Chain A
Amino acid sequence: MVFNSLTFVVFFACVLVLHSLPLRWTTKKINLLIASYLFYAAWNPPFVILLWISTVVDWYAAQGLVKARRQAARHAWMLLSVIANLGMLGYFKYGQFLLDNFTALMGTLGVPYHPAHYDIVLPVGISFYTFATMSYTLDVYLRRAAPAQNLLDYALFVTFFPHLVAGPIMRPTELVPQFAQPRRASADQLRFGLALMTLGLFNKIVLADSFLSRVAERVYDGDKIPGALDAWAGTLAFSGQIFCDFAGYSTTAIGAALCLGFAMPDNFRFPYAAVGFSDFWRRWHITLSSWLRDYLYIPLGGNRHGARRTYLALMGTMLLGGLWHGANWTFVAWGGLHGIYLSVERVLRARFSNYRPGPVVFVLLGLLTYTLVNLTWVFFRAKTFSRAWLVLRGMLGQNAATGPILPTFSLISVAAIIGALVLTHWLMRGRTLESVVARAPAVAVCAVWGLMAFAIIIAQGAGSAFIYFQF
């Protein structure tokens, strides 16, 4: 089920009540586990089996890793986990993509090949929970972490509903220890958790779904050729939509976990105030970028084997990171662009190591970063390269004699929301939400919270899925 649904409201109320009953801690954990399976099954019940497979394989792989004496055996257990998880991900997420590309390759070689079309349904959140479970065996393999003490704690780590389908991608060392001792939210944790959930849902339902998504749709999914204003408005709208959608999910998830007494890590830190792309990736989808860094970039050599190897590792990581987002070459292009940006930044940093920008240049560099990030969003949002080029040409003012696509209201709403969003990110650049809330007058916190809740209700969201569910 999605957070922005009535079903979730009822579900979450039941979970809160159950969790506050005077039951044994083990019973409460079993309740949470069952609730999490119900949460997942509410989309498509049979796919719970995949969740079980992923859980059981990695549980036994980690046990095998601990017991193995020889390095070869440890390798084998680690590979079993990786192959099982990536195999599942590959079949459900990339099966059709690989088949289509193979067919196209055969076609270019003059070999007619016409496979049957497989109508594979992508299990929601498979990319997230396979990465979470893989981090468990990989951490045990790398001797960074000891395996979980019991299957219940481990299964709950994999399945815990706040992070199950769209992250934050949690590591076992972040969550499993929290299951060791009884946890129940304090009254203030519960209230602040509810406030965080309101903030997250406001981002999703009001900003992303109500105002920004249809602007991006009209530019990217229509058949009209966009001029400069429409192309930029559509792309800026998408930049806001994807942030509000995904950061909204993460904030809601963090709030939901806090209401139950659990802590989840930050996943976003005001990324549109990033100055440079390394800074951007320290602020955007932090749990994915750090996962890729720890389990892909560093094993590929990181920056320990010379410049050439570093750039290869960087590009490889970003290209695969792009593909993680979806089975389409446009996502690879998106990742590739970020890889190039990071590489260029690295070259510049080495060449101008003593340069310190002044305040104005600093802000200009931030705006340049945001602009270049927007260029990458074109490939992320467009379903085909031809549409991406059309929008890019529009953004560069190269689409001549085009009629308007977006009405005035859309332009105004995008300008207002994106302007406020970017400004907020800059104001919050070196702060945390908690520090700002702590300093604000209680009346202001109350008013903002109430207004956000009111906006959520009158926006009448249709319970649309979060963008990252498809990844």
Chain B
Amino acid sequence: MPSSTSSSEALDAGSAGLLRTPPGEASGASAGTDRYARQTAADRPGVAQPVPVRPVPEQPWGKILIGMLALLLLLVALWEWYWRDFGVTPSISNTYGLWAIQRRRIDAGEGNATVLLGASRLYFDVQLPVWERLDGRRPIQLSFEGTSPLTAVEDLAADPNFTGRLLISVEPDLFFSGFEYRGGAGRYARNESPSQRIGQWLSMNFIEPYFAFDDPDYALRTVLARQRWPARPGKVWHTDVRKLAQTEADRNTHLWSKVADDPQYRELARGIWREGFQPSEDDPPPAVARRVEQEQIDRMAKAVAKLRTRGVQVLFVRMPSSGPFLAYENLMYPRTRSWKALLAATGAPGIHFEDYPQLQGYYLPEWSHMPLAEGERFTAALYAIVMREFWGPPAAAGTAPRAGTP
């Protein structure tokens, strides 16, 4: 054995306790009458460390475990009952893992599929079963709420496996500001570990279909944070967006019925949008906002050009909005400056809902999204326009789409 090193050679450079031991207190947990006291490696400098001691406190652990499980079961049942009473039903969580499953379809033999990319309007309003019924193939839904599709379009542009059709939704305040509430999905999908994949599968098969409370809107912190805390002066504080949609395993999503059916909840959703219409100190100066707008258009033009060299058909769509939301969008992003400039820069065609009577007149409870039945009707109308005017009849399953764009 090496020469024993004195305890004064600890990293603390001395144990003569000026500050070590409080008056009247035993020196740490390693002394005194505590029968569970034990030394740590900090107490044994420069020697081989022995097998640790890990005592179990004396308690009736069997009874404690049973009691704990009973209490846990009771609390979880009450929590579940509370949220179901509020109107919540189980829904698949819209996680990055769920998105990654759909994204992988492109690299797993469905590279010629129709991909939907946008923010919440394309995500909630287009119903995949309706599209599939009309088209014969179910599109891949890659939209994310509150998120500009630009990064995801660039990701697809860089993926040679994708040769299909791309419907990109332009939701002006997100698209032209480049805002990405859920911007990390592409990176996540590329780096997703086997463990995360398994966890996603377990969660969406054994947890999410059965528990209504398993939704980010009802997470402990979220629930506590949205109580009526006094607002801190000096800033306008925005309310976080509440639960708006129900999602299925393949990301087919629709507006939550409570938004349409519950006047109080609908008003809450509208109030949250209204807050966003007010100027905020977080808003960039107008000159910066214009520059960002142009950057988004330029980047999209590059991505679209790249996609078109592979024969990908790209089509933009401006989804319906109404009331104060539409007024806000028209004020902030006038059609000529935003929508038309985008189409001109990319050279891709677009469908603006204001140009088609079939895409107007839908009920949008909170001015931005439509309930399920309206969404089904809208999807059929949109599909008809897309095929009639832009993409032609659907390609047979497994065959490549026509090259070029209208």
Q: Contacts A342-B13, A408-B232, A453-B68 given: A463-B19 contact, CB under 8 Å?
A: no
| Given A206-B220, A455-B220: A2 and B195 interface contact (C-beta under 8 Å) | yes
Q: Which residues of B contact A289 (CB under 8 A)?
A: 11, 42
Are A298 and B232 within 8 A (Cβ)?
no
Which residue of A277, A293, A449 contacts B10 across the interface (Cβ within 8 Å)? A293
Shortest Cβ gap from B314 to chain A (Å):
30
Q: Does A182 belong to the interface (CB within 8 Å)?
A: no
Tell me whether A306 is interfacial, beta carbon within 8 Å: no
Alpha-carbon gap, A304 to B6, bound state (A): 10
Interface flag for B286 (CB, 8 Å):
no
- B41 interface residue (CB < 8 Å to A): yes
**Cβ–Cβ contact A1 & B195, under 8 A:** yes
Interchain CA distance A353-B16 in the complex, whole Å:
8
Establish whether residues B57 and A437, one from each chain, have CB atoms under 8 Å apart when the complex forms.
yes
Quote the shortest CB–CB distance from B9 to chain A (angstroms): 4
Contact A358 B23 (CB under 8 A): yes
Query: For residue B57, which residues in chain A have a CB less than 8 angstroms away from its CB?
Result: 192, 434-435, 437-438
**A346 interface neighbour in B13, B43, B47, Cβ under 8 Å:** B13
Q: A269 near B28 (CB under 8 angstroms)? A: yes
A404→B231 CA distance, assembly (Å)? 11
B237–A407 contact, CB under 8 A?
yes
Q: Is the CB of B13 within 8 A of A303?
A: yes
Q: When the two chains form their complex, are residues A404 and B234 in contact, meaning their CB atoms are under 8 A apart?
A: yes
Contacts A144-B2, A293-B45, A435-B34: A279 and B20 contacting too (C-beta < 8 A)?
Answer: yes
Whether B193 contacts A43 by the Cβ 8 Å rule is yes
**Whose C-beta in chain A lies nearest to the C-beta of B207?**
A6
A10→B45 CA distance, assembly (Å): 39
- Which of A69-77, A84-92, A103-111, A440-448 is the contact stretch? A440-448
**What's the nearest-Cβ distance from chain A to residue B291, in Å?**
17
**Is A459 an interface residue when CB atoms closer than 8 A count as contact?**
yes
Interface residues of B toward A: which range? 35 or more
B62 within 8 A of partner (CB): yes
Q: Which residue of A lies closest to B237 (CB)?
A: A407
Q: CB distance B49 to A174 under 8 Å?
A: yes
Query: Known contacts being A358-B23, A432-B34, is A445 close to B64, with CB within 8 Å?
Result: yes
Q: Which residue of B lies closest to A41 (CB)?
A: B194
**CB of A458 closer than 8 Å to a CB of B:** yes
A430 contacts B26, C-beta separation under 8 Å: yes
Q: Is the CB of A282 within 8 A of B9?
A: no
List the B side residues contacting A276 at CB < 8 Å: 18-20
Query: Does B75 contact A463, Cβ atoms closer than 8 Å?
Result: no
Cβ of B196 and Cβ of A139 under 8 Å apart?
no
Q: Name the A residues within 8 Å of B35 (CB-CB).
A: 435
Q: Which of A142, A194, A276, A409 has the largest count of B CB atoms less than 10 A from its CB?
A: A409
Q: Across the interface, do B67 and A446 meet the contact criterion of CB distance under 8 Å?
A: yes
**Shortest CB–CB separation between residue B61 and chain A, in angstroms?**
4
CB–CB A45/B1 < 8 A? no
Chain B neighbourhood of A206, CB < 8 A: 220
A437, B219: Cα distance in complex, Å: 29
B residues in contact with A463, CB < 8 Å: 196, 199
Establish whether residues A174 and B50, one from each chain, have CB atoms under 8 Å apart when the complex forms.
Answer: yes
Give the CA-CA distance A290 to B7 in the complex, in Å.
12
Bound: A446/B58 CA distance, A:
14
Q: Mark interface residues in B227-251 (1 if CB within 8 Å of A CB, else 0).
A: 1011111110100000000000000
Name A349's closest neighbour in chain B (CB-CB): B18
Given the interface contacts A282-B42, A348-B18, A431-B29, does A144 sit within 8 Å of B67 by beta carbon?
Answer: no
When distances are taken between beta carbons in the complex, the residues of chain B under 8 Å from A355 are: 18
A263 interface contact, C-beta 8 A: yes
B234 with A403: CB separation less than 8 A: yes
In the complex with contacts A278-B19, A298-B9, A314-B13, A450-B198 CB distance below 8 A: no
A187 proximity list for chain B (CB < 8 A): 61-62
Residue of B nearest to A289 (CB): B11
Shortest Cβ distance from residue B208 to the other chain A in the assembled complex, whole angstroms:
11
Using Cβ atoms and an 8 Å threshold, which residues of chain A touch B36? 432, 434-435, 438
- A-contact 0/1 string along B13-43, CB 8 Å cutoff: 1111011101111111100101111101111
Which residue on A lies nearest to B203, using beta carbons?
Answer: A6
- Check B231 against A408 for contact (C-beta < 8 Å): yes
B219, A459: Cβ atoms closer than 8 Å: yes
**Which residues 49-67 of B sit at the A interface, judged by CB distance below 8 A?**
49-65, 67
**Whose C-beta in chain A lies nearest to the C-beta of B11?**
A293
B321 to chain A, nearest CB (A): 29
B230 partner residues in chain A, CB cutoff 8 A: 408
For chain B residues 73-95, which have a beta carbon within 8 Å of chain A?
75-76, 79, 95
CB contact between A349 and one of B16, B24, B215, B235 (< 8 Å): that residue: B16
- Contact of A359 with B by CB under 8 A: yes
Residues of B within 8 A of A429 (CB): 22, 25, 28
Interface presence of A454 (CB below 8 A): yes
Instruction: Give A residues with C-beta under 8 Å from B.
Output: 1-2, 5-8, 10, 41-45, 139, 142-145, 171, 173-175, 177-178, 186-189, 191-192, 194-195, 206, 210-211, 254, 258, 263-266, 269, 275-279, 281-283, 286-287, 289-294, 297-298, 302-304, 310, 314, 317, 342, 345-346, 348-349, 352-353, 355-359, 362, 365, 403-404, 406-413, 429-432, 434-435, 437-438, 442-443, 445-447, 449-451, 453-455, 457-460, 462-463
Which A-B residue pairs are the 5 nearest by beta carbons?
Answer: A278-B12, A450-B71, A276-B19, A42-B195, A290-B41
Can you list 9 residue pairs at the A/B interface with Cβ under 8 Å?
Answer: A174-B52, A258-B56, A282-B40, A293-B11, A349-B19, A408-B231, A435-B57, A446-B67, A454-B79
Known: A174-B50, A269-B29, A431-B29. 12 other contacts (CB 8 A): A142-B2, A278-B13, A298-B9, A314-B13, A342-B11, A349-B18, A358-B23, A359-B22, A362-B22, A407-B225, A434-B57, A449-B64
